[in-house]
Amino acid sequence: MSDMSEQIAAPQPITVPPFAVIPGAQVQHTLQGQERQIVDLVEATYALHAAGDSVNPPSYFLRFSDRPTARIIALPASIGGEVRVDGLKWISSFPENVQAGIPRASAVLILNDHDTGYPFACLESSIISATRTAAMAASAADQLSRNRRRPTRVGFFGTGLIARYIHTFLTATGWSFDEIGVHDVSADHASGFHGYLQQTAAGRITVHDDPEQLIRTSDLVVFATVAGRPHVTDPAWFDHNPLVLHVSLRDLAPEIILASANIVDDVDHCLKADTSPHLAEQLTGNRDFLTGTLHDVMTARATLPTDRPVVFSPFGLGVLDLAVGKHVYDEVTRAGQLHVIDDFFHDLRRYG
């Protein structure tokens, strides 16, 4: 009989992980064509979060008195399961960048080792952020339309990077539309998105100068703007009971929220920072207008009515960024293309 010591595996030594940098081009190449896989990953992450196998503190907003439209947001998080990683997304939103011809948002994602706490990767994260946002929107479109007529007319209110990613994810996960509507406060941006759709989408494409017309002619409405306060205020525009992906969170007046069935990704996260649901809570003094979370719908704990608009307002959880970022890291590692920064951590002996 073998010695007992041979049967017990020796504990693995704790070591400092190497530090890697994954640039945006590598992130985009890794995620390209993986839309269905990322939607599945996002849904699995929501399940882990609902089961309590995550830590997702409130986001922290850095604001500036001299730049009132700008902000930088820190999203710390930790996720268990097979992902088993901690980290932080640090994402800036400077809307005035658009006038200079550069993207509004920029971001990095830091991944921390579960056992030592050491950072082991820094990833360009505007693409990861857009990807997880589009994946949760595509998931919501599918889950929230299952007990109602599947939308055939989609309207995009806001035509930036997020709108493009959401359209890509909808198309890649089996959606097709007879009609696509487009509206943006910038005619140039609307025209650019129209040109993109002409190259990638079937169906009739219409640019609407009037936001009411866009909403009234769409069964699925996607809000992807940079609005800081509600600008759509008339509940009558939604009398046809569309499904609304309220991705930008602050477009709808509380009266529209209160006239709708409301689904969020996380109640406590969504009802803060003057989002439209938060304004509805301030107006009513309660949260009775909430129907439930997206995971509640996935697990049949929440039932959606068919006689009211359904509004999905996702705050966007840091655990989603971690899950997608760790997926990118693992894929790049498997491909043997990880760019490690030698000697990033220095003086690792405690006493020199």
**Please, what is the angle between helix 318-334 and helix 35-50, to 10°?**
130
Domain assignment present for residue 350? The answer is no
CATH number at residue 277: 3.40.50.720
Nearest in space to 61 (alpha carbons), one of 273, 227, 229: 273
Q: Could you tell me if 163 and 296 lie in one domain?
A: yes
Q: Could you tell me if 322 and 210 lie in one domain?
A: no
Domain assignment present for residue 6? The answer is no
Q: Which two tokens stand for residue 235?
A: 């509940």
End-to-end CA distance of the chain: 45
6 has a pLDDT exceeding 60:
no
Q: pLDDT of 131-155, one tens digit each?
A: 999 999 999 999 999 988 899 999 9
Domain assignment present for residue 201? The answer is yes
Cβ-proximal residues to 166 (8 Å cutoff; 6+ apart), any chain: 133, 134, 137, 138, 156, 222, 224, 245, 247
What residues make up the domain containing 53?
19-128+318-341
Q: Could you tell me if 147 and 235 lie in one domain?
A: yes
Are 133 and 162 within 8 A, CB to CB?
A: yes
Q: pLDDT of 14-31, one tens digit each?
A: 888 999 999 999 999 999
Domain assignment present for residue 99? The answer is yes
Q: pLDDT of 24-68, one tens digit each?
A: 999 999 999 999 999 999 999 999 999 999 999 999 999 999 999
Quote the strand ranges of 158-230, DSSP E. 179-183, 204-207, 220-223
User: pLDDT at position 202, please?
Assistant: 80
pTM as predicted: 0.91
By three-state DSSP, how is residue 170 classified? helix
By three-state DSSP, how is residue 55 classified? strand
334 has a pLDDT exceeding 90:
yes
Average pLDDT for 168-187: 96
Domain assignment present for residue 42? The answer is yes
Q: Could you tell me if 199 and 334 lie in one domain?
A: no
Per-residue exposure over 47-78, b if at least 16 CB sit within 10 Å of its own CB, e if not: ebbbeebbebeebeeeeeeeeeebbbbebbbb
Q: What are phi and psi of 57, to 5 degrees?
A: -65, 170
How high does pLDDT run on average in the chain?
94
Q: Could you tell me if 144 and 189 lie in one domain?
A: yes
Cβ-proximal residues to 350 (8 Å cutoff; 6+ apart), any chain: none
Count how many domains the chain has. Answer: 2
Domain assignment present for residue 14? The answer is no
Cβ-proximal residues to 147 (8 Å cutoff; 6+ apart), any chain: 303, 304, 306
